[in-house]
Chains A and B, each alone.
Chain A
């Protein structure tokens, strides 16, 4: 005896069920064709347990064995490392370009031209020290110079505050991501219990969150046998299964800047990612501010020494020269208010005679002789400023090139990931046609068995009736 009609009907039903399930998987794939981070799924079939009979072993139809998640974890690691590097250099490059802007328009007025103008004002004074208009110009050019210093200092401080905000926002984002991953860990663990197969969509969400987290820092991700992942950075655990350890923002260093640290107070910036970018951005802000402050301070000290030299500095009234600049750095350098109010108080002379230009000439000569930092004979103030500009320009250019190159790597790996994970519409539609036809054929089996049963039940009767 072979299989009964009922058993054959059941074979048809397994076919219907399996193809329907497969069409559902295909539909899900098509629906998610443009979902960022989606991993395509594949329906798996196998034969049902066959029926052994005395006349042979009969197949009992098809079994839907589950859904495979088409993903390679190796690509994820490489992708995340490259993404972290790209984010880091994007941040550094953007920051360096912003700092460049602080120095002014390189094709127009900038701090460098203001310094040159300042000295030129004193040069003019050497050919007209008695002329109040010329004295006024010296004051105006000095005030313009202090304005440039103030603006540079203000913008650098503003950039610094922007970075502070970004660091704080990043910490909030990191903690939110960690919290969501820990939630997904729980969900995935629960869904996959009892061998239901991978919780593909939950895992996609978790992978996307891990991608996002790796833009901040270099992560070590370990998947446990229960489906949960543990995440650590720089040797510090951020997440173990369902528990996450919130990162914190701690102000540290000299000068103090906010830094994202683990709950155990270990800095997390390491080997790429935005957090490393922040550290370098702060560094280049600090060094720029140090240079600008140093230039201002060198100018203040040296000009004041000449302008107030005892017995060797006199204003137009024959009185001893006053302090020319007040303040100590780029933020507070100002021209002495008394001098601004009365151009006669500019001390151009080193004797008490109106036509003497000894001090004016000495200050004008600072253009070639005042060096910054002290001890580097070739760097005049303008040289120092130009060196700074080149340093920033090269840093930005370098960071841009690295960001582009890591960006290419990111795109390349994204492409490779897509080759594995991504949905191809033609492929899905081809599958759909196959499943649809299989479904139609299985339905035909059911109809055929139905007809056979009809024949036996309704149309088989006594002979002759």
Chain B
């Protein structure tokens, strides 16, 4: 059309959509600045939102894995405390065994040692009552039951120790699809791999060893040498337990630091992806406001011009 007519309506018709789009973009920028996020619905950037959602899920997962890891570590540390006390007690028992083997010791001396051994025995049984967050640590999954029960004779002397737990272990995931069993059994007589105080596979029974030692002190001093060897064997078994816990904690700690690092990377990526670039947004907002004001001013001025103004 060579000669394009402009009607009065079309003067305004073109302006309104322009005003609207300038205003809409301003509002969008204001929202982005106020919320700090680049988007508030998926249609603003479907792919970006999808990536961000995926990263958020991963992050939430890492947080949970960290929590699981921390809890497993705490349980294992409580267990370790118990194991270390047991180690201390067995070390004392070994010292006593060495002393008892000294031919200069009199039966009265050995009797005194036997009294101390009885106390050590009681102390070990007490470890079976140790709990972490209300969970008995050595009872397998029978966590509401104390692990050990002392069997006593009429005089109150411990003649045996029974295991009240079972052979089950419990696990938690410290990384997707990676579960770790974080409890240690007091005994594997009801099943399971490693029994700390009584291990049928390794032939170790810490309680029976001490009971034998105590009894031999008074009734059969000739066997004390064997007792010393057995105590040493039990001690090394407990140390092995401590080492197992240490290894598990190290594995968890490695996972924790890996997760922490991953979270840091995630948060940087997420921030780049979904956080508003405030400087850029404010600059654009200023530009838009200028453009908006200019177009309003032009619109108002065009409206003023008409032949009507020049007629008599």
Q: Is A423 an interface residue (CB 8 A)?
A: yes
As a 0/1 sequence over residues 1 to 32 of chain B, the CB contacts with chain A under 8 angstroms (1 = contact) are 10011111110011001000000000000000
As a 0/1 sequence over residues 24 to 54 of chain B, the CB contacts with chain A under 8 angstroms (1 = contact) are 0000000000010101111111110110111
Asked if residues B60 and A107 are in contact (CB atoms below 8 Å), the reply is no
Q: Is B64 an interface residue (CB 8 A)?
A: yes
Taken together as a complex, chains A and B put the C-alpha atoms of A101 and B9 apart, in Å, by 38
Interface SS of chain A: helix, strand, loop or mixed?
Answer: helix
Contacts of A422 in B (CB 8 A): 5-10
What is the interface size of chain B, counting residues whose CB is below 8 A from a CB of the partner? 62
Q: Is B311 an interface residue (CB 8 A)?
A: yes
How far, in Å, is A312 (CB) from chain B's closest CB? 13
Given contacts A354-B142, A356-B168, A423-B7, contact A107 B37 (CB under 8 A): yes
Segment of A147-155, A332-340, A382-390 in the binding face: A382-390
Residue of B nearest to A401 (CB): B43
As a 0/1 sequence over residues 110 to 151 of chain B, the CB contacts with chain A under 8 angstroms (1 = contact) are 000000000000000000000001111001111110000000
Q: Is A368 an interface residue (CB 8 A)?
A: yes
Taken together as a complex, chains A and B put the C-alpha atoms of A171 and B128 apart, in Å, by 79
List CB contacts (< 8 Å) of A19-76 with chain B: 33-34, 40
Q: Is B230 an interface residue (CB 8 A)?
A: no
Asked if residues B14 and A355 are in contact (CB atoms below 8 Å), the reply is no
> Could you give 18 example pairs across A and B, Cβ below 8 Å?
A97-B41, A100-B41, A112-B53, A120-B64, A126-B68, A127-B68, A127-B172, A130-B135, A351-B141, A354-B143, A354-B144, A355-B142, A361-B173, A389-B50, A397-B46, A418-B5, A419-B4, A427-B5
Contacts of A197 in B (CB 8 A): none
Q: Is A136 an interface residue (CB 8 A)?
A: no
Asked if residues B40 and A107 are in contact (CB atoms below 8 Å), the reply is yes
Q: Is B203 an interface residue (CB 8 A)?
A: no
Q: Is A415 an interface residue (CB 8 A)?
A: yes
Additional A-B contacts beyond A130-B144, A390-B47, A418-B6 (14; CB < 8 A): A101-B41, A106-B52, A128-B133, A351-B141, A351-B166, A355-B141, A356-B168, A361-B171, A361-B173, A364-B173, A390-B49, A418-B5, A422-B9, A425-B306
Residue of A nearest to B64 (CB): A120
Taken together as a complex, chains A and B put the C-alpha atoms of A247 and B1 apart, in Å, by 40
Asked if residues A126 and B171 are in contact (CB atoms below 8 Å), the reply is yes
Instruction: Determine which of A130, A390, A418 lies in contact with B10 in the assembled complex, contact meaning CB atoms within 8 Å.
Output: A418
Instruction: Determine which of A120, A127, A130, A419 lies in contact with B5 in the assembled complex, contact meaning CB atoms within 8 Å.
Output: A419
List CB contacts (< 8 Å) of B38-94 with chain A: 39-47, 49-50, 52-54, 56-57, 60-61, 64, 67-68, 71-72, 75
Taken together as a complex, chains A and B put the C-alpha atoms of A402 and B10 apart, in Å, by 23
Residue of B nearest to A369 (CB): B177
Residue of A nearest to B177 (CB): A368
Instruction: Determine which of A357, A368, A393, A400 lies in contact with B49 in the assembled complex, contact meaning CB atoms within 8 Å.
Output: A393
Q: Is B179 an interface residue (CB 8 A)?
A: yes
Asked if residues B168 and A353 are in contact (CB atoms below 8 Å), the reply is yes
Asked if residues B306 and A426 are in contact (CB atoms below 8 Å), the reply is yes
Asked if residues B140 and A353 are in contact (CB atoms below 8 Å), the reply is yes
List CB contacts (< 8 Å) of B163-211 with chain A: 166, 168, 170-173, 176-177, 179, 183
Residue of B nearest to A127 (CB): B71
Residue of A nearest to B7 (CB): A422
How far, in Å, is A334 (CB) from chain B's closest CB? 24
Asked if residues B173 and A126 are in contact (CB atoms below 8 Å), the reply is yes
Given contacts A97-B41, A126-B172, contact A424 B8 (CB under 8 A): yes
Contacts of B35 in A (CB 8 A): 107
Residue of B nearest to A400 (CB): B43
Asked if residues B49 and A419 are in contact (CB atoms below 8 Å), the reply is no
Q: Is B108 an interface residue (CB 8 A)?
A: no
Q: Is A365 an interface residue (CB 8 A)?
A: yes
Asked if residues A418 and B7 are in contact (CB atoms below 8 Å), the reply is yes
Given contacts A355-B143, A386-B53, A419-B1, contact A123 B43 (CB under 8 A): no
Contacts of B49 in A (CB 8 A): 106, 389-390, 393
Q: Is A116 an interface residue (CB 8 A)?
A: yes
- Total CB contacts across the A-B interface at under 8 A: 196
Contacts of A40 in B (CB 8 A): 7
Q: Is A349 an interface residue (CB 8 A)?
A: yes
Taken together as a complex, chains A and B put the C-alpha atoms of A400 and B43 apart, in Å, by 9
List CB contacts (< 8 Å) of A355-397 with chain B: 355-357, 361, 364-365, 367-368, 382-383, 386-387, 389-390, 392-397
Residue of B nearest to A404 (CB): B21
Contacts of B8 in A (CB 8 A): 33-34, 422-425
Contacts of B5 in A (CB 8 A): 418-420, 422, 424, 427
Q: Is B307 an interface residue (CB 8 A)?
A: yes
Asked if residues B67 and A355 are in contact (CB atoms below 8 Å), the reply is no
Residue of A nearest to B21 (CB): A404
How far, in Å, is A185 (CB) from chain B's closest CB? 27
Q: Is A429 an interface residue (CB 8 A)?
A: yes
Given contacts A126-B171, A355-B142, contact A396 B42 (CB under 8 A): yes
Contacts of A361 in B (CB 8 A): 171-173, 179
Asked if residues B13 and A415 are in contact (CB atoms below 8 Å), the reply is yes
Q: Is B308 an interface residue (CB 8 A)?
A: yes
Contacts of B6 in A (CB 8 A): 418-419, 422, 424
Q: Is A414 an interface residue (CB 8 A)?
A: yes
Q: Is A226 an interface residue (CB 8 A)?
A: no
How far, in Å, is A123 (CB) from chain B's closest CB? 5
Contacts of A395 in B (CB 8 A): 43
Contacts of B168 in A (CB 8 A): 351, 353, 355-356
Taken together as a complex, chains A and B put the C-alpha atoms of A221 and B108 apart, in Å, by 123
Residue of B nearest to A419 (CB): B5
Contacts of B39 in A (CB 8 A): 106-107
Instruction: Determine which of B46, B68, B134, B274 lies in contact with A390 in the assembled complex, contact meaning CB atoms within 8 Å.
Output: B46
Contacts of B7 in A (CB 8 A): 40, 418-419, 421-424
A-B pairs with lowest CB-CB distance, top 9? A422-B7, A393-B42, A355-B143, A396-B43, A393-B46, A353-B141, A127-B71, A355-B141, A356-B141
Most buried by A among B37, B170, B179: B170
Asked if residues A127 and B60 are in contact (CB atoms below 8 Å), the reply is no
Taken together as a complex, chains A and B put the C-alpha atoms of A420 and B13 apart, in Å, by 15
Taken together as a complex, chains A and B put the C-alpha atoms of A72 and B72 apart, in Å, by 81
Given contacts A100-B42, A357-B171, contact A425 B308 (CB under 8 A): yes
Taken together as a complex, chains A and B put the C-alpha atoms of A420 and B168 apart, in Å, by 89
Q: Is A124 an interface residue (CB 8 A)?
A: yes
As a 0/1 sequence over residues 113 to 140 of chain A, the CB contacts with chain B under 8 angstroms (1 = contact) are 1001101100110111111000000000
Q: Is A91 an interface residue (CB 8 A)?
A: no
Residue of A nearest to B136 (CB): A355
Contacts of B274 in A (CB 8 A): 107
How far, in Å, is A378 (CB) from chain B's closest CB? 12
Q: Is A96 an interface residue (CB 8 A)?
A: yes
Q: Is A447 an interface residue (CB 8 A)?
A: no
Taken together as a complex, chains A and B put the C-alpha atoms of A34 and B7 apart, in Å, by 10
Q: Is A222 an interface residue (CB 8 A)?
A: no
Asked if residues B134 and A130 are in contact (CB atoms below 8 Å), the reply is yes
Q: Is A251 an interface residue (CB 8 A)?
A: no
